[in-house]
Amino acid sequence: MSNFSTDKQYLAQYMHYVMRHKKRLLLSLCAIPLIAGIHIAQPLILKYAIDHVFLAKAYDKLHVVASLLAVAVVAEFSLRSLQSFLFQHIGQHTVTDIRHDLFKHVSSLKMSYFDRTPQGMLTSRLTSDLESLNDSFATGVVTLIADVLTIIGILTAMLFLSVELTVITLIITPPLFMFVNICRKQLRTQYNAIRSTIGKLNASIQEQLEGLPIIQQYNRQRVNESEFDTLNTAYRKATISSVSYDALLYSVIESMASITLGIVIGYALGFQQSDAITIGLLVAFIDYIQKFFQPLKEISNKFAILQHALASLEKIFGLFNETDTIQTKPLKLHDFSGKITLSNLHFSYPSHPDKPVINGISFDVHPGQTIAIVGPTGSGKSSLIKLLLGLYDGYTGSICMDGKELNTLDCQSVRRQMVTVGQDAKLFNRSIAFNITLGNPNISEDQVLKALTLANAMHIVNKRPKGIHDTIHQFGQQLSAGEAQLIGFARALASPAPVILLDEATANIDSLSEHAIQQATNALLQEKTVIVIAHRLSTIQHADTIIALKNGHIIEQGNHAELMAANGFYSKLYGMQFTQGSPLNIP
């Protein structure tokens, strides 16, 4: 639940971005008193015209009064147009700046944050919440200042014209402001519900679209539709509730304006026998009452917009305040030889701190070696790769790279020294060349073609009209799993990084392609340090060291011949695979 202090904090953070455009903001703010003054002057001109021109029959002054009124109307229109343009300009640029910084901040968050946060929520923060913020700035938050100044100016003019009529007008304001405050609190509650629900809706849509093949395969459509309808209904109810309070607030102010106008006219008619209230004064006062309640109507609308904005600010800057980010460190890893030393390594995921996935692992990786890691599902193999890449921290023990402790090194410098090929190749909706270089200008087109050749993936390029410049669509959905993994393998081979991490890199590649890749890349991989995670044991027989993991512990270690001779876990696993003719996971 939000409170006044947190609202002030979020507004202060927002104004920090707005103040980047302070010249335009200052110009637009300078227009506010000018607009208010011209707006307030118009009824006074009208009063003068009635009392001192028409009733006094001084028609020679009519052209002067008409000119003054015309200038006032044109000046107000021009200044309002300029102000609106400036506010829109500031709002758009402010939102662009916030979106840039928010995306940068999200990109710097640790993997542990994404483990507990749906992607759809983050999408909402970067899109719909920010658009709501832009609308709020351009049409609501800053223009509240203009409305407040206008009300103050109108009250001053009304007091100048008639204290009695002004007092009558103000009698109605205390209960009105109490009602506005009640509606404000309700609107904030509903807008918070709207922002939260739209985030859940986006997360649900993304999840269901990504998992649609499984949903259809298991006939889950009706169940998923029911779950979606629950969220959709909650969003509808929150939206209708907010609209209802907004409409109620506007209609109450409109009714109060009519009642006040009736009371003032009735009171003024009681003095028609005297000169206390002239016709010009009454017309001017009626105009002022309408102008007085008009910004109140606007303020009621802008209160709704402000509550919407504060709800968005709470979500956006709440994400900014997430401190679980990757910290830049001064110590860099340069000219990495490939030597890695693990000593008594322990690790648990932040979401399950009581369930260790790595328990006291120790081993050395020397430059140019190929180290294979095998074991049943859940034994900690992929977690080890994630730790080496610095995707997670919080381990105990030691991971040293060329004698430097990993948690003292800058993560980006570490990742520049390593390249991975995972079980599922992550492809982007860009060209094949981009998916291999990832925008690295130091990798030439010839190197891309060489990497594709080594990865036995040239057949993918040859059947495309634009070759390596052809675009991959739908994140590679039109490619087979094997073709996507071949491109991922080519990406690793094109990289100059001295260490290659292969996490089931050939899992989706047929045996012939796998054999061709092994033959083509043997010489290249001998120049690099390679850590392989494999279930298919035929791919790791030539590894310098094979490490068998189970429940986060090393249970065996040696080369293929030594482990086969030991007739232990690895030997039995190897025998099971080759007697049954296919790899399997050991439960």
Tokens linked to 125: 């923060």
Residue-by-residue DSSP string for 113-131? HHHHS-HHHHHHHHTHHHH
Q: Note whether 383 and 345 are within 8 A (CB).
A: no
Long-range CB contacts (within 8 A, 24+) of 6-12: 6/314, 7/310, 7/313, 9/317, 10/310, 10/313, 10/314, 10/317, 11/310, 11/313
Tokens linked to 52: 């001192």
What pLDDT sits at residue 118?
Answer: 78
Q: From residue 114, give the alpha-carbon distance in Å to each of 30, 118, 140, 198, 473.
A: 45, 7, 34, 19, 25
What pLDDT sits at residue 138?
Answer: 56
Tokens linked to 238: 């929150």
Q: Is 519 helix (H, G, I), strand (E, B) or coil?
A: helix
Tokens linked to 330: 């001064």
Q: What pLDDT digit, counting tens, does each position of 350-404 carry? A: 888 888 999 999 999 999 899 999 988 888 888 998 899 888 888 999 999 999 9
CA distance 405 to 415: 14
Q: What pLDDT digit, counting tens, does each position of 314-335 carry? A: 888 888 888 877 778 888 988 8
Domains of the chain: 7-320 (1.20.1560.10), 331-417+529-587 (3.40.50.300), 418-496 (3.40.50.300)
What pLDDT sits at residue 586?
Answer: 35
What pLDDT sits at residue 220?
Answer: 77
Q: Over the chain, what is the mean pLDDT? A: 82
CA distance 321 to 64: 59
What pLDDT sits at residue 397?
Answer: 93
Closest listed residue to residue 580, CA positions, set 97, 572, 510: 572
Residues in the chain: 587
What pLDDT sits at residue 364?
Answer: 93
Instruction: Give the pairing of strands 340-348 and 553-558.
Output: unpaired
Give the distance from CA 381 to its chain's centroid. Answer: 32
Q: Is 529 helix (H, G, I), strand (E, B) or coil?
A: strand
What pLDDT sits at residue 344?
Answer: 94
Q: What angle do CA 110, 344, 342 make, to 5 degrees?
A: 70
Low-confidence ranges of the chain (pLDDT < 50): 1, 273, 581-587
Q: Note whether 494 and 448 are within 8 A (CB).
A: yes
